[in-house]
Structure 1
Amino acid sequence: MSKEVSEEGQTHRKDYADPPPAPILDVGELKLWSFYRALIAEFVATLLFLYVSVATVIGHKKNADACEGVGLLGIAWAFGGMIFILVYCTAGISGGHINPAVTFGLFLARKVSLFRAVGYMVAQCLGAICGVGFVKAFMRPYYNSLGGGANTVMPGYNKGTALGAEIIGTFVLVYTVFSATDPKRSARDSHVPVLAPLPIGFAVFMVHLATIPITGTGINPARSFGAAVIYNNEKAWDDQWIFWVGPFVGALAAAAYHQYILRAGAIKALGSFRSNPSN
C-alpha cells in the first residue's frame, strides 16, 4: 500500500494506488494487438450505440402523431441504457469511452496516450457513421423525412444557449466518468462490478432529459458527426461546431475540476513546489 499525507501533515496508508500517468507519445503500444483490439471495440460499440439510439429517435418521430412513440423519456432511456450496456461490455478492453469528449478528458488527465486518444476518436467517428448508415438503410422510407437523428439547435433557442447546454451536459458526463473510475472508489467498491457503467449510463440519461429540447442532445461529437454525415443537411452542418466545441470544453472543465480540485492535484503540486529545497 502507498502512503498519503493528509492536510494536517499526518501520514497514513492508502488502500488504493493511483496508476502512473500515461506517456503522451507511446510508440510501443502501436506494436501491441491490445491497442488495435481496443480500436475495434470502440468502433463496434459506437456503431451499436448510434444504431439503437438513432433508430429509437426515428421510430419515435414516426409514431408521435399516433401517440405511440416512446416519447422523450424513451429516447433518453435508449441513449443512457445503451451507454450502460456498452461501457459494461467494453470497459475491460478499451475502457469503454464510446465518445471523443470522454477520450479527450481522459487524455488531458494523462489516462491515455496521444496515439490512443486519436485512434479512439477516429474509430468512434467511423463507428458512428456506420451505425447511422444502418439506420438509414433499414428505415429509408422515414429517415430523411424525420430528421435523420441529426443534432441541431432547436427552434426558439440560439446558438449560445445550445453551446452552454452542450458544455454543461458534457461536464456532467465526463465528471461522472472520472468519479466512477476513480482508483479510490474502485478499490472500495470492487465487489460491485457494474458500479462504474451504471452511473455513467444514468448521467447520459439525465442529461438527455434536460437538453433534448435544446439541441437534441449531443454531448458526444461522434454521435453528432455520424448523424450529420449520413443525413447531410445544411442546418446540421451549420450547427456542427457546437457539438464539437461544447463537448470538448465541457470535458476540459470536468478533467480540471476532478484532477486539480477534487483530487487536489493543484495543492499537491504547490506542496511539492514549496518543499523543494532549491526554492
Structure 2
Amino acid sequence: MVKLALGSIGHSLSAGSFKSYLAEFIATLIFVFTGAGLTISYGKLTRDAELDTTRLVALAIAHVLALLIGATMAANVSRGNLNPAVTFGLAISGNITIITGVCYWIAQCLGSIVACFLVQFVTPSMVAPTHGVGYDISGIQEGVMETIITFVLVYTVYVTTDNPKNGLVGTIGPVTIGLIVGANIFVGGVLTRIIITLTM
C-alpha cells in the first residue's frame, strides 16, 4: 500500500538523521568495495576475462557476506538499506519519509562512488568490471530479469525488517537479505554477464 509522507527538512537534517546517512554511506561503501574488488582480484587470479562457475560462486558468497555485514552494521541506525531501490520501496510504503529517502539515496550513491574510486586506486593496473547483456537474451529480457530480482530483494527487506511483529525473523533480517542477494546473483549472474578486461 502506498503511504507517501514528505517529512520535514528539520527532521531529515537533524544530527540523528546524519548518523543514519553516514551509516548508509559506510555500509554501501563496504558492500560495493567488496563486490567490485573481488571481481577484479578474482579475474586477475584466474586470468579469465569471462564469468565462469567458480567466479559466480565467489561473487555470490562475497556479496552475501558484505551485505550481511553492511546491513547488520547499519540496521539499528538507518535500517541498513544499502540500495536505492530498497529505499524507494520503504519510502512509498511510508516507512521513511520522501526527504529522508532522497538523503539516503545521496548517501548510498556517494558510498558507491567512493568505493569505486578506492577500488580503482588499489588496483591501478586493472580495469574495473563492466556489465553486459548475457548469453542468448535481449536487452528487454535482461530488464525483466533485473526487475524481478530487484523486486525480490525489496520485498525480502520489507517483510523481514520493517514489521515489529516479525520477532526472530526481524532479528535475522540482515542474514535473509544477504542470502537473497546471493540467490539473485546465482539466478541473474550469467544472464547479466560481468565482463572484465585484464591488463597484465
Task: Report if TM-score (shorter chain) is over 0.5.
Answer: yes
TM range (shorter): 0.7 to 0.9
Do 1:81 and 1:205's aligned partners in 2 also have CA atoms closer than 8 Å? no
Structure 1 runs (4+) greater than 4 angstroms displaced: none
2: distance between equivalents of 1:216 and 1:179? 29
Structure-to-structure mapping, 1:151-162, within 5 angstroms: 151-162=131-142
**Structure 2 residues not aligned, in runs of 5+:** 195-200
Flag the 1:84–1:62 CA change in 2: closer, same or farther, 3 A. Answer: same
Do 2:91 and 2:97's aligned partners in 1 also have CA atoms closer than 8 Å? yes
Structure 1 residue 216 displacement after superposition: 4.1
Q: Deviations over 1:223-273 (max 9, x none)?
A: xxxxxxxxxxxxxxxxxxxxxxxxxxxxxxxxxxxxxxxxxxxxxxxxxxx
- Count of residue correspondences: 189
Quick check: 1:178 aligned with 2:188? no
**Structure 1 residues not aligned, in runs of 5+:** 1-20, 218-279
From the CA coordinates, give the structure whose radius of gyration is larger: 1
Higher relative contact order (CA 8 A, sep 6+): 2
Alignment partner, residue 148 of structure 2: 168
Do 1:60 and 1:70's aligned partners in 2 also have CA atoms closer than 8 Å? no
2:120 aligned to which of 124, 132, 136: 136
Q: Give the secondary-structure state (helix, strand or coil) at the position aligned to 1:93.
A: helix
Do 2:60 and 2:182's aligned partners in 1 also have CA atoms closer than 8 Å? yes
Quick check: 1:75 aligned with 2:59? yes
TM-score (norm 2): 0.86
Residue identity (%):
28
2: distance between equivalents of 1:216 and 1:34? 40
Q: Deviations over 1:154-213 (max 9, x none)?
A: 353211111011011111111111111242543x327x84x1111110000000011111
TM-score (norm 1): 0.63
Quick check: 1:215 aligned with 2:189? no
1:189 aligned to which of 136, 146, 168: 168
